[in-house]
Amino acid sequence: MTTLLDLRSVSLSSGSNHRLKDITLSIQQGEKVALLGQSGSGKTTLIKVANGTLKPTIGKVLWKGIELNKLKRRQKSEIGTLWQDLKLIKELTVCQNVNAGALGRKNALWALRNIFGLIDNENCRKCLQVACLEEILMNKSISSLSGGQQQRVAIARLVHQQPKIILADEPLSSLDPQIANDILNLLLTKRKNSFYTSPNTCVVSLHRPDLLEGFTRVIGLKSGEIFFDIPIGNLNKTNINKLYL
């Protein structure tokens, strides 16, 4: 087994607010980790620290043994994030947003051509397929899509990025149960076509302890600290109740 993400005694505080306290954990290839915790417990903060958008005040974060800020562009693109607010670009079409996933391996000229709509959309089509979106949506504007459709566009963009790990921040909030199940399936089950092999590693922060099917490990966060970090089999009602107390 290879270690992908490695957080070593990571703390983060802004002012007197200790958002993360001495967190040490490593994610092995093949693990599917559920991140649980009350609102404000630090789930989003942990994900931001893990993908490098927040710098810890103390401690180190390594990707395959290399510190995050020393990664090359290609290596950075191996860490894929599904943001809680999706971070889609309203001014661009669905297809252009999906293509933006490939920016980690493309140059600025390609980026400009995509803005002008001059990129072949074959790859985009395959990504939409993986994310179960109809092709006809390709040239629509983001704002004309429903919430669930937008979420799938964000996933299609992630597919185009071809990451080795997916960090997903509450991908199920504000979705109705049926769609929530579909999205979770998308993230957890192995998918493969000519273009894409889904990574078998992910960290998903969740509000709902009832949707843990398919995960292999559960981490509970409480006030910025790891409250438990156990295989899914060891999880029981008392753990959960104490976490949300």
Partner 1 sequence: MILNKPVLCILPILAIVPIASNVFYDIHPGGINLLYNFFSSALNPSFESDVLYAVFNGLQDTISIALIGWSVSLFFGISLALITSDIFYILFKVPYSIKKFLKILLSIPRGIHELVWGLLLLQILGLTSWVAILALAIPYSCLNARVFSDQINALDKASLDSLIQIGSGPIQVIITGLWPKIFPVLVSYGGYRLECAIRGATLLGVFGLGGIGTELQLSTQSLQFREVWTSIWVLVISIFCLEKIIERIKDINKIQKNIKHFSVIGLIIISILLVISVIRLGGLNINTSININSITLPSVKSLLIAINNIDLVKLISQTLFISLLATGIAVGIPPIMSMLFPTSIGQDVIAKIYMICRTLPSPLIALLLLLFIYPSLSVASLAIGIQNMGVLGRILKENIDRNDKFIAIAFEKSGASKSSSWLYGKFCQQSNSYLAYSLYRFDIILKETAAIGVVGGAGLGWKLQESLSSFAWEEVLIIVATFISLTMIGESLSGSLEASLNNKKMQSFNPTPNVSN
Ligand X SMILES: Nc1ncnc2c1ncn2[C@@H]1O[C@H](COP(=O)(O)OP(=O)(O)OP(=O)(O)O)[C@@H](O)[C@H]1O
Binding site for partner 1 (CB under 8 A): 51-53, 73-81, 83, 87, 89-93, 96, 100, 103-108, 111-112, 115-118, 139-141, 143-146, 161
Task: Choose which of 16, 39, 107, 236 interacts with ligand X (CB under 6 A).
Answer: 39
Measured between alpha carbons, how far is residue 101 from residues 39, 63, 157, 174 in Å?
A: 29, 20, 5, 24
Residue 70 CA to residue 87 CA, distance in Å, equals 25
Please name the residues in contact with 245: beta carbons below 8 A apart, sequence gap of 6 or more: none
Q: Is 37 in the site for ligand X (CB under 6 A)?
A: yes
Closer CB to ligand X, 41 or 198, in the complex: 41
By C-beta, is 43 or 157 nearer to ligand X? 43
Q: Which stretch binds Mg ion (CB under 5 A): 37-45, 61-69, 74-82, 174-182?
A: 37-45
Residue 205 CB, shortest distance to partner 1, in Å, is 16
CB of residue 42 to ligand X, shortest distance in Å = 4
Q: Where does residue 153 fall: left (phi above 0), alpha (psi -120 to 50 degrees), or beta otherwise? A: alpha
Partner from Mg ion, ligand X, partner 1, none binding residue 83, C-beta < 5-8 Å depending on class: partner 1
Q: Which residues pair with 166 in a beta bridge?
A: 80, 202
Site for ligand X in 77-96 (CB under 6 A): none
What is the closest distance, in whole angstroms, from the C-beta atom of residue 43 to ligand X in the complex? 4
Minimum CB separation of residue 91 from partner 1 in Å reads 4
Give the interface segment with ligand X, choosing from 11-19, 23-31, 71-79, 99-107 (CB under 6 A): 11-19
- Cβ closest to Mg ion, residue 44 vs residue 162: 44
**Which of helix, strand or coil describes residue 28?**
strand
| CB of 11 closer than 8 Å to CB of 58 | yes
* Minimum distance from residue 52 beta carbon to partner 1 (Å): 4
Name the DSSP class of 102.
G
Please state, in angstroms and rounded to a whole number, the distance separating the CA atoms of residues 118 and 49: 35
Residues 75-114 that bind Mg ion (CB under 5 A): none
Composition of the chain by helix, strand, coil, percent to 5: 40, 30, 35
Backbone angles phi, psi at 143, to 5 degrees: -70, -15
- Residue 37 binds what, of partner 1, Mg ion, ligand X, none (CB under 5 to 8 Å, by partner type)? ligand X
User: Contact with Mg ion (CB under 5 A): which of 19, 23, 44, 165?
Assistant: 44
For residues 86 and 72, what is the distance between their CA atoms, to the nearest angstrom? Answer: 24
In contact, 75 and 66? CB cutoff 8 Å? yes
Q: Residue 19 or residue 32: which is nearer to ligand X going by CB?
A: 19
Residue in 181, 15, 160, 178 with CA at minimum distance from that of residue 82: 160
**Using CB under 6 A as the criterion, which residues of the chain lie in contact with ligand X when the complex forms?**
14, 17, 19, 37, 39-45
